[in-house]
């Protein structure tokens, strides 16, 4: 890696004379001791002044400070910038006909991102170097629509070169569409707007090798408690693509509403949606899935069962404790509802739901929920009690877990029926079913992935890992982004308060959580359960905290959040420039005056 000198001088090559003067801008920046220092411009220093984006690019040590997440491999670059003629950018992309729309949209998105930081395209200076973007797939790839799976190679390499006054060339090499897409994302973060010279600039030379530390890098969004428009979901996918998150976990339904069109069971969404306008049609779901694919994101559906069902099912006589009161006796929040596993007619309905989900999503991993099943709910049903007693079972917890396992096995048979020979991996939430001894009795480590939502220090995590199960980490003390707010079923704060800062997210080390079983950790997800969040507040609840998770999952840094703070502040501004309503982190003064705000900024350890 290249080591930068304490006082960095940036050379800008191929720049035309400007009509701008120090009257147009008051401040520029110098890199001093690896920090960007604001300086007042005057006639003497204006021509050699650098803008804040240029300074942040070079002044963050051995990795360009405008890239988020930080590359995990070798990085080498020179401290020279080239002005780019944005009107002559040329792309050479793979020529697979079935992938053509993916490459076309990736190119169009790249150009949109290029201009996102430019306040007015009309002020861009004309001229500069031509930029040629070459994308090469290293291995032989069949002309098929690419699908992101757990076996997909998402690595890439990026080389930027230039010679004399010739065009600059950015070459991206990857083994898959998804890796190449990540390379384009990194390249977009190396093209910056210099507000002093009013031009787009790029590094004159760079070499980057990059690959993710974890296969599963996700966000969960619950669209049942509050409905989210297709537009807001796409905006979330846009931001995910910026930071190379690759899994959108769509918790579509719950007891509160059933907003998914199921053509074979229309009663579910017609009765269960908040209104006819708040239903995701097949066309819209397909559109979201494809929108995610273009951006390197799998859209994984969850159909949570046997608990967390209610609205939409009320006429089917397949529920227990639907909207029972007082609700606190039957479930964790209103309205209550659980499927009745003893009703044989239930399973063909589930098969219809699964079939349409698989047709729409084609998932390589399917989430079957399994969260917060209430024994008291089932025990309130005479039909369920009689069924269990007729089988010679008792009405104690052990046999209610047995009933739960019966449901899970019957439901899995229906999943496998609609998946045919695919047999997807199944994810379940941590629950009583994943505890000892039930996990040994009822779950197969080769088939099930367990998603951890308890605290990072919970001993039950170790019980799951030592039995060989793969896990996805969503420990609520770091990764539940709805935590922190007023109570909504009582006074005080909500159940998982306090608010979780980005620093906690960044330092949530999965290797530490798993210990010697870290090879079984597939990755992590941050979750938004939407009781108190809707599409108008979702941006600020996800971002920029989800970006902190993205760097943890892509780079798995050894350093703490403190070493990433300046880059995070710049990245948050990039989110805003790209129309993501990310939460403010500090006064803008702190953004412009690096390392002047932390109370311990000048302690020896920093």
Within its chain, how far is the Cα of 204 from the centroid?
Answer: 31
Instruction: Indicate if the alpha-carbon torsion angle 541, 544, 550, 551 is positive or negative.
Output: negative
The catalytic position among 287, 372, 376, 410 is: 372
Is 222 noted as a catalytic residue in this protein? Answer: no
The catalytic position among 30, 194, 254, 356 is: 254
Is 458 noted as a catalytic residue in this protein? Answer: no
Kindly give the residue spans of alpha helices, DSSP state H, lying in 154-203.
177-190
Kindly give the residue spans of alpha helices, DSSP state H, lying in 311-392.
346-361, 375-379, 382-390
d(CA 373, CA 392): 22
Within 8 A by CB and 6+ apart from 313, the residues are 258, 268, 272, 319, 322, 337, 339
End-to-end CA separation in angstroms for the chain: 22
Is 308 noted as a catalytic residue in this protein? Answer: yes
Contact 84, 76 (CB under 8 A): no
Phi, psi at 534, each rounded to 5°: -135, -170
CA nearest neighbour of 524 among 240, 216, 221: 216
d(CA 214, CA 211): 9
Q: Which residue matches tokens 């984006």?
A: 53
For residue 367, CA distances in Å to 244, 258, 301 come to 22, 16, 6
Contact 352, 265 (CB under 8 A): yes
The catalytic position among 251, 308, 367, 571 is: 308
CA nearest neighbour of 542 among 593, 583, 508, 587: 583
Could you give the residue numbers annotated as active site? Answer: 254, 308, 372
């Amino acid at each position: 890696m290249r080591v930068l000198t304490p006082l960095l001088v940036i050379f800008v090559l191929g720049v035309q004379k400007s009509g701008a003067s120090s009257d147009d801008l008051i401040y520029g920046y110098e890199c001093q001791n690896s920090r960007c220092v604001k300086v007042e411009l005057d006639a003497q220093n204006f021509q050699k002044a650098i803008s804040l984006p240029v300074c942040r690019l070079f002044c963050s040590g051995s990795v360009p400070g405008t890239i988020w997440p930080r590359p995990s491999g070798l990085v080498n670059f020179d401290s020279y910038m080239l002005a780019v003629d944005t009107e002559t950018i040329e792309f050479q992309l793979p020529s697979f006909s079935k992938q053509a729309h993916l490459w076309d949209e990736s190119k169009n998105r790249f150009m949109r991102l290029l201009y996102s930081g430019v306040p007015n395209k009309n002020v861009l200076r004309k001229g500069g170097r031509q930029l040629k973007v070459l994308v090469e797939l290293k291995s032989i790839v069949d002309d098929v629509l690419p699908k992101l799976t757990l076996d997909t190679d998402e690595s890439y390499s990026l080389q930027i070169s230039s010679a004399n006054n010739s065009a600059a060339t950015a070459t991206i090499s990857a083994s898959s569409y998804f890796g190449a897409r990540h390379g384009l994302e990194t390249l977009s973060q190396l093209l910056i707007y210099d507000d002093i010279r009013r031009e787009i600039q790029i590094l004159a030379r760079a070499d980057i090798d990059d690959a993710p530390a974890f296969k599963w890098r996700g966000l969960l969004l619950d669209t049942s408690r509050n409905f989210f428009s297709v537009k807001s979901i796409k905006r979330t996918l846009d931001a995910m693509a910026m930071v190379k998150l690759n899994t959108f976990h769509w918790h579509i339904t719950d007891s509160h509403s059933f907003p998914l069109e199921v053509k074979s069971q229309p009663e579910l969404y017609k009765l269960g949606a908040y209104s006819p306008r708040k239903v995701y049609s097949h066309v819209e779901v397909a559109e979201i899935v494809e929108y995610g694919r273009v951006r390197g994101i799998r859209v994984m559906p969850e159909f949570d069962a046997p608990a967390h069902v209610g609205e939409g099912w009320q006429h089917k006589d397949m529920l227990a404790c639907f909207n029972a009161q007082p609700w606190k006796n039957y479930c964790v929040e209103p309205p209550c509802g659980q499927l009745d596993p003893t009703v044989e007619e239930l399973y063909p309905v589930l098969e219809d739901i699964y079939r349409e989900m698989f047709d729409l999503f084609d998932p390589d991993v399917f989430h079957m929920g399994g969260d917060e099943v209430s024994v008291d709910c089932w025990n309130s049903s005479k039909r369920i009690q009689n069924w269990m007693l007729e089988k010679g079972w008792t009405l104690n917890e052990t046999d209610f877990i047995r009933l739960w396992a019966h449901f899970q096995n019957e439901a899995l048979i229906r999943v496998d029926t609609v998946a045919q020979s695919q047999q997807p991996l199944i994810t379940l939430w941590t629950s009583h079913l994943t505890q000892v001894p039930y996990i040994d009795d009822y779950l197969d480590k080769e088939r099930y992935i367990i998603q951890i939502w308890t605290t990072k220090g919970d001993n039950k995590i170790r019980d799951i890992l030592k039995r060989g199960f793969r896990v996805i980490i969503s420990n609520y003390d770091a990764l539940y982004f709805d935590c922190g707010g007023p109570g909504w079923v009582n006074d005080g704060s909500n159940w998982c308060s306090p608010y979780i800062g980005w620093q906690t997210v960044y330092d949530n080390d999965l290797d530490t959580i798993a210990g010697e079983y870290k090879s079984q950790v597939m990755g992590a997800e941050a979750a938004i359960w939407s009781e108190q969040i809707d599409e108008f507040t979702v941006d600020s609840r996800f971002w920029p905290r989800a970006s902190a998770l993205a760097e943890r999952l892509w780079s798995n840094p050894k350093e703490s959040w403190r070493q990433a703070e300046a880059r995070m502040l710049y990245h948050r501004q990039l989110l805003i420039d790209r129309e993501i309503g990310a939460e403010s982190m500090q006064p803008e003064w702190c953004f412009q005056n690096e390392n002047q705000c932390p109370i311990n900024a000048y302690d020896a350890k920093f």
